[in-house]
Chain A
């Protein structure tokens, strides 16, 4: 499965390549028709915006001539093979430079056989990386033909692949753990706040392959389970008076016990605080002799409570206990020895019967009404009677634990698993702990079990990559709820999956829609959007307070809240995802409104504001929001590079490659205070190894220079007037945020594809591979026919093969 291995090593490849296949390097596209962007040659020279004077500022789309009915093979022979022989052969046919050999690619079939390698080839040709500068260069048309043929060939190749993929066993991440505990037990408690940070892969913290469990985390799981069980289950706390031998009266001390060698009583004077029921406990042992065990009579005041057979011996004393009803006041609590025995004719050790008492305890009153939480009552839905037998207790525990494990493990538990959990209950019972303590222990065992901590999907053939299967209803419910809610399925979903009816497509969609309307779908905003947009980084940033005194913690919170509210609104109202690119409204409170120059907004709460007048030109869409503008800035200044890179990555899934080693940073202000930031960046780009990537990023960033490092509008940067003109890599010139947004909207399919890829990655918890291209195509197609409504993407993902199916592992 070469294509998978490739995708593994080059996680970006699919994204970049699919961008390319959707119509070429999207960032340099406005000279081409919107649906069919054409890559333009990017030798370092022409890519350098300041030197590229030939490009027309507003190039009119030139439609591609209609393709003649010509076969695939003919095109291969006419366009592709000659291209390879002329431009690639010297490095990639005799030799295998960079580990890439094209010598086997003599027929179209070869391309189908190693689609992954060809995808890389097409990508490099398309974005101008190959042939390298200094080698003979093909014309732009030749590049276009090469890419067009490859696109269609690869689509064919992918059409043949039926691979739902496989996600590695996923543990709950911090957000999921907290949400799950919240929804299982109704607790406003965040045990995961103390857990170590989750590992991040593919831009998200819910990726199975990278989420790991360290011993530190395991410790935290154990301690969280204890804390949760103690918060949810209330164990009757009993006032306890404990009388050790030194506080007992009535018989002599021997071997650390009150020792009765003939008929006698050991007793304590106990003050019963009120009328009620109490538990009296006596730890005792005996020297056994004669034909019967030692007998102990328990008395409270004059009332005889019970006679116990004390079979315990010195090495293993036992606790004997009984409930009593007592009136308030000081009363004698006594344990008496009633069957003394002595026969000197019997052998030593069987001759003398004696009774010893270690301590007496009075626990209670027992029948005080406790304040029980709703979740306590829900879990302990069957409270055993006070005089329940051990069997009755076990039965009650079985019902309770079965129901609890069903919910927490997101599937019906096996009988053997329940037996195991009942051993935890039994442990407490043996220690004479209250019934509820046993349930607490079982609950702890449930919460540290891999069945809770991992989203387990068991396979009959776990290591056969050819064995694919549909998920069970329970597995599907789990995937769905963690996708939309970052939390456990609720009882409604449980009902559907227990019935085996969730997997029916219409039911699945119906549930998904209901879930999107539920408040818990806020998780998509907090977890998906916050990571997609890098919003979590905002917490760690602090702009220089001297340069930006307006920046306060309140403003930081408001920035983040604006973007989250804006995203959440699109989810809730099922609006078009293109609003992320441009919209005429947002959500502001007073600090933000001040920053944006919007009047008449007071107070800390956000409200929807429709932009008008000058503000409408300055604000609207994610790239104009202060959160994004701040998190793509340095503490003392804006960074057009970071802003450009953010747009490439988050909107077009086309991150530039990392900078080569040894690249110097921008010269500091002290070096030449007479250069503006733009001039410094332009100097920087004179270095040809910097130019090609910076041509993609910097122009976009420059168009946002009207926003300072905290997102406030400005017309001057220090002593320099702000210049918002930018040039895309293809030479398109534009200026300011409004024109940038026009370009973004013209590339809406590229954006939709990027968004679909990110959302699918988040949904299925793994990086995408070439085999997933079909799924992404389908999601984008569906979105297009439904006006890019948010739910249309969710529908397509939920119904997709990677979401509903899995196969065995192909790891060697």
Chain B
């Protein structure tokens, strides 16, 4: 006579009807009452604020004269940053950072490939257009691999331009370098998603809106079994494959394990994202960027991930920004040769990108999290891997750091590091604030903040 009156079926059915509430508000009392034991709920109970790490990349350098603030410490917004006036006290500018390993170091041309590849890795990519790409692990993946178990997705990789289809992308460098800033390991760039609808479906499921929690539970159970069978199949092959083949099979194993972890992760958040499902990729590039930003913010709100890389374009991108009246390709005009006309267009593109950044930061700031907001509980790095697009220099890079880092950062400063200070020093400091303590990353020589 000891039968429970509420079985799992009934419980799961209940989950499907939760309403959208700001994350912490929702997770705190109700989630605990419903039995959720996720890290966020625990954090919330212990008044620990979650922290996020975002890296937003723009290609082809920056018009530095209108980027770098005139004064150290408190500063007036330079022309390119003027769209950020509503979040002026929520970000700092850091000058003097460098990615030494993006330089040729004897490898000749290919600065765009190297700039993308080295931006978050601090590693010197091997010059190859094919078989044997080699770079380093990127800071976001370094964090994701150590934080991954906290959230459903260890990290989110999004962008606006798909990787190129054919040809080597830059002077004998594989397209992987200029189109990927996230690297899971030395030889594995992480594919990014460029279709907002696909991001949404990945985050929130396959679009079966009416699917009952019961059948979702059954589907997940079937998925787990099917992956188990696949793993068995893969193990059968292992011994009859050569060394290089097994590397490919290892990627397969990793892929399956990540999905299994995700399935094992109990849906700890009642977050429902109904009503915001994107239809596809907008034609307007600004709208596309903003929609991708929305997807990132949704993922943070639902605590589906804490780490995100976002490429506003691939490095070397030759996109024409028609929407702001620029018909030439971005890369083409970035080789401005001091032409006043081209310089003007470059700074307009730079400012256009910053306008999109402003949208994202303002929206993060407007997203409440308990007594604070999402921007307060994030660290957003925005910048390029090249300083001047014509010179292809990789020192004194344009870098902006927004957000409060869960109360660990004091934004609103122009911080001048002695040029060239390794950009990886910034990463070391950021990793610490994500509770991923390390003394060194990439080519760092210490911390920064």
Determine which of A216, A424, A635 lies in contact with B190 in the assembled complex, contact meaning CB atoms within 8 Å: A216
Q: Please, which residue of chain B has its CB at the minimum distance from the CB of A671?
A: B339
Contacts of A8 in B (CB 8 A): 131-132
CB distance from B66 to the nearest CB of A (A): 19
Determine which of B109, B165, B171, B248 lies in contact with A536 in the assembled complex, contact meaning CB atoms within 8 Å: B165
Contact string against B for A residues 456-493, beta-carbon threshold 8 Å, 1 for contact and 0 otherwise: 10111011000000000000000000000000000000
B3 with A256: CB separation less than 8 A? yes
Determine which of B157, B195, B225, B322 lies in contact with A427 in the assembled complex, contact meaning CB atoms within 8 Å: B225
Contacts of A661 in B (CB 8 A): 104, 108-109, 111, 392
Contacts of A659 in B (CB 8 A): 108-109, 171
Contacts of A530 in B (CB 8 A): 166
Contacts of B191 in A (CB 8 A): 196-197, 214, 216-217
Determine which of B133, B170, B237, B339 lies in contact with A210 in the assembled complex, contact meaning CB atoms within 8 Å: B133
Tell me the complex Cα distance, A665–B328, Å: 14
A203 with B131: CB separation less than 8 A? no
Q: Does B39 contact A (CB under 8 A)?
A: no
Q: Does A647 contact B (CB under 8 A)?
A: no
A165-173, A564-572, A713-721: which one contacts chain B? A165-173
Tell me the complex Cα distance, A666–B129, Å: 26
Q: Please, which residue of chain A has its CB at the minimum distance from the CB of B188?
A: A212
Contact string against B for A residues 162-206, beta-carbon threshold 8 Å, 1 for contact and 0 otherwise: 000010110100000000000000000000001011111111110
Contacts of B188 in A (CB 8 A): 212, 214
Contacts of A256 in B (CB 8 A): 3, 5
Instruction: Scan residues 137-180 of chain B and give those whose CB is less than 8 A from a CB of chain A.
Output: 157, 162-168, 170-172, 174-176
Instruction: Scan residues 82-115 of chain B and give those whose CB is less than 8 A from a CB of chain A.
Output: 104, 108-111
Determine which of A210, A222, A255, A444 lies in contact with B130 in the assembled complex, contact meaning CB atoms within 8 Å: A210
Tell me the complex Cα distance, A687–B61, Å: 25
Contacts of A431 in B (CB 8 A): 218
Determine which of B3, B218, B251, B256 lies in contact with A255 in the assembled complex, contact meaning CB atoms within 8 Å: B3
Contacts of A196 in B (CB 8 A): 162-163, 191-193
Q: Does B234 contact A (CB under 8 A)?
A: yes
Contacts of A218 in B (CB 8 A): 252, 255-256, 258-259
Contacts of A222 in B (CB 8 A): 223, 226-227, 259
Q: Please, which residue of chain B has its CB at the minimum distance from the CB of A533?
A: B166
Q: Please, which residue of chain B has its CB at the minimum distance from the CB of A545?
A: B327
On chain B, the number of residues with a Cβ less than 8 Å from chain A's Cβ atoms is: 86
Contacts of A207 in B (CB 8 A): 130-131
Contacts of A544 in B (CB 8 A): 320, 327-328
A31-39, A447-455, A605-613: which one contacts chain B? A447-455
Determine which of A166, A417, A660, A664 lies in contact with B390 in the assembled complex, contact meaning CB atoms within 8 Å: A664
Contacts of A79 in B (CB 8 A): none
Contacts of A421 in B (CB 8 A): 229
CB distance from B430 to the nearest CB of A (A): 23
Contact string against A for B residues 174-215, beta-carbon threshold 8 Å, 1 for contact and 0 otherwise: 111000000010001111110100100010001000000000
Q: Does A386 contact B (CB under 8 A)?
A: no
A445 with B226: CB separation less than 8 A? yes
> In the complex, which of the residues B104, B189, B237 has the most CB atoms of chain A within 10 Å of its own CB atom?
B237
Q: Does B371 contact A (CB under 8 A)?
A: no
Determine which of B5, B202, B242 lies in contact with A811 in the assembled complex, contact meaning CB atoms within 8 Å: B242
CB distance from B252 to the nearest CB of A (A): 5
> In the complex, which of the residues B167, B226, B248, B327 has the most CB atoms of chain A within 10 Å of its own CB atom?
B226
Determine which of B174, B255, B335 lies in contact with A664 in the assembled complex, contact meaning CB atoms within 8 Å: B335
Determine which of B234, B259, B332 lies in contact with A219 in the assembled complex, contact meaning CB atoms within 8 Å: B259
Tell me the complex Cα distance, A665–B339, Å: 11
B233 with A449: CB separation less than 8 A? yes
B166 with A217: CB separation less than 8 A? no
Q: Does B18 contact A (CB under 8 A)?
A: no
CB distance from B395 to the nearest CB of A (A): 14
Determine which of B2, B109, B174, B259 lies in contact with A200 in the assembled complex, contact meaning CB atoms within 8 Å: B174
Q: Please, which residue of chain A has its CB at the minimum distance from the CB of B157?
A: A216
A665 with B337: CB separation less than 8 A? yes
Tell me the complex Cα distance, A212–B129, Å: 15
Q: Does B244 contact A (CB under 8 A)?
A: yes
Tell me the complex Cα distance, A204–B175, Å: 12
CB distance from B206 to the nearest CB of A (A): 6
> In the complex, which of the residues A9, A216, A315 has the most CB atoms of chain B within 10 Å of its own CB atom?
A216
Contacts A197-B163, A448-B226, A450-B237 given; indicate if A670 touches B131 (C-beta within 8 A): no
Q: Which residues does B use to contact A, with CB under 8 Å?
A: 1-3, 5, 104, 108-111, 128-133, 157, 162-168, 170-172, 174-176, 184, 188-193, 195, 198, 202, 206, 218-219, 222-223, 225-227, 229-230, 232-234, 236-237, 240-245, 248-249, 251-252, 254-256, 258-259, 318, 320, 322, 327-329, 332, 335-337, 339-342, 390-392
User: What are 26 contact pairs spanning A and B, CB under 8 A?
Assistant: A11-B128, A169-B244, A196-B163, A200-B174, A202-B130, A209-B132, A210-B176, A214-B184, A214-B255, A215-B255, A216-B157, A216-B191, A218-B255, A226-B206, A315-B2, A420-B232, A423-B229, A424-B226, A448-B230, A458-B241, A462-B240, A462-B245, A542-B320, A634-B328, A635-B318, A657-B108
**Apart from A417-B233, A667-B339, what are 10 other A-B pairs with CB-CB below 8 Å?**
A169-B245, A197-B162, A208-B248, A215-B255, A255-B1, A450-B233, A659-B108, A661-B392, A668-B337, A670-B340
